[in-house]
Structure 1
Amino acid sequence: MNVKLNKLSLGLAASMVLFAALPAHAAINKYGCIYVVDPFDKIVKDPYGNCIRTPYWTAAKNIPECGGVAAVEPPPAAGSIETITLGADAFFDFDRYDLKPAGRARLDKLVVDLRRAKSVTDIRIVGHTDSKGTEEYNMRLGQRRADTVASYLAAKGVPKSIISTRSEGESNPVAPNTLPNGKDNPAGRALNRRVVITVTAAEKVISQ
């Protein structure tokens, strides 16, 4: 116990002597005057490895070398994420996954946009259906619709490596498939037959 106390006393004494021996201007250094430094601009430490602080030290200014927390850099800014929805009027009739002329024209416009952009990193294509048929069948139908769009884009020169597809089947409707009285709602079902394309890039890609 006496040995530890003696070391502590020596450490405190050394700190006081070092700080007292420094001229006023010596405290001005690259650490902002908060630590005592030697002639080589290195922080002076006591026998226990603790950085010797000046009266200008505050917890907010503490550095990692002396027990402070390193500053966390903010994450890189997210890229531009744009989504277009291509519905039954442009794409798919009931129980079909072939493209209509209007759908092909809209995809051709998208291809032009993609060629003009230089930073597209990801194109995600999700197929959707109405609620007619079983869930299993509609999952397959939604996947065929997504794959049809992906194949069309790839055939126009869009890299397959940045295209991914999946189906949500009938699970994510944007309109009711039936009316409040329980009868069929053809207009609502048509809205649910769609493909959603999401483009990720560092810039705006999709033109109006």
Structure 2
Amino acid sequence: MTKNTRLKLLAVLGTLGFSMSAMSADVVVDPKGVVPYVTDSRNVVVTSGSGLCVQAGASWSPAAAEQAKDASGKPLACSCDPDLIAKEKCEPPKPAAPVARPAPKPAEQKVKLAADTLFDFDKATLRPEGKAKLDEIVSQLGKYNVEVILAVGHTDRIGSDAYNQKLSERRADAVKKYLISKGVPANRVYTEGKGEKMPVTGDKCKNMGPENRRNKKLIDCLQPDRRVEIQVIGTDK
């Protein structure tokens, strides 16, 4: 290299200038827009022998160094002039803190607890075996976080619809009173009467003679229809 060539090179480098921070690795530039540093054919920022970025003369400014990006989208100033840019602009974004989610609420469920053969024909007074069945149900309630207990009364088909509707309601009320007497909160127990609309005997008791209270065979056959069904609505503990 001749003396004149060396002088010209020194003059160019003096015009371009160097950044004040050495790079530890090649910085590949995103060539879009103004690049305020000298780059080679690989779009890598040219550095001095001591690893300092070579600034591109008049094209360089702190704002241009921040606006220009490397191949990863980070400002070139982060690698070449880190003292000129806010540190947080050069750090990868912190992952969002996980959102605390409430523990899933147990799914509400309906637990149907059968309580049949509770009543004698045309009666709303609990039979002894009916009370025993209700005692079993009360003992099972401890398994649940009880929200609602629904007692639904039913009758057999003997008698008028209107009479049987009232009878079914009285049977449901009798069950409610018994549950309350066993410690079940009164504000948890609701009642409903379905009359004779929902028999469980099906066709079993058809063609058994007169449909009246004097037909003991029919009355005995229809015993399962004289019942109260209890639904417990709540969640497992």
Q: TM-score, normalised by structure 2?
A: 0.51
8 Å CA contact 2:119–2:226 kept in 1: the answer is: yes
Root mean square deviation of aligned Cα: 3.3
Specify every segment of 5 or more residues in structure 1 that has no aligned partner in the other structure, as ranges. 1-15, 27-37, 42-74
TM superposition shift of 1:144: 0.5
Contact 1:129–1:192 (Cα < 8 Å) also in 2: yes
Which is further off, 150-159 or 179-188? 179-188
Task: State the alpha-carbon separation in 1 of the partners of residues 165 and 121 from structure 2.
Answer: 14
Quick one: which of 89, 94, 106 aligns to 2:121?
A: 94
8 A Cα contact 2:151 2:231, kept in partner: yes
Instruction: From the superposition, tell whether residues 177 and 140 of structure 1 become closer, same or farther in structure 2 (CA, over 3 Å).
Output: farther
Output one character per residue of 1:30-49: Cα deviation in whole Å (capped at 9) or x when no partner: xxxxxxxx9596xxxxxxxx
Superposition TM-score, scaled by structure 1 size: 0.58
Aligned partner of 1:137 among 158, 163, 166? 163
One-letter amino acid matched to 1:101: P
Matched positions, count: 144
Instruction: Give me the identity figure in percent.
Output: 35
What amino acid does structure 1 have at the position aligned with 2:183? G
1:127 maps onto 2:142 in alignment = no
Determine helix, strand or coil for the equivalent of 1:141.
Answer: helix
CA 1:180–1:157 in structure 2 vs 1: closer, same or farther (change >3 Å)? closer
> Shift of residue 110 of structure 1?
2.1
Shift in alpha-carbon separation, 1:85–1:24, aligned structure 2, 3 A:
same
Unaligned runs of 5+ in 2: 1-31, 34-67, 75-87, 94-103, 212-217
2:158 pairs with 1:106? no
1:84 matched to 2:78: no
Pick the aligned partner of 2:230 from 185, 197, 201.
Answer: 197
Indicate how the Cα distance of structure 1 residues 118 and 191 shifts in structure 2: closer, same or farther if over 3 A, else same: closer
Aligned-partner residue type, residue 140 of structure 1:
K
Runs of 4+ in 1 over 6 A off after TM superposition: none
Paired residues of 1:130 and 1:177 also in contact (CA < 8 A): no
SS in 2 for 1:158: coil
Distance 1:155 1:181 in 2: 41
In structure 2, C-alpha distance between the alignment counterparts of 1:77 and 1:97, rounded to whole Å: 37
Q: What is the correspondence of 1:24-63 to structure 2 with a 5 Å cutoff?
A: 24=72, 26=74, 39=89
Deviation at 1:182, TM superposition (A): 6.5
Larger Rg: 2
Letter paired with 2:225: N
Distance 2:73 2:223 in 1: 79
Say if 1:134 and 1:180 are closer, same or farther in 2 by CA, change over 3 A. closer
Q: Which has the higher contact order (CA 8 A, sep 6+)?
A: 1
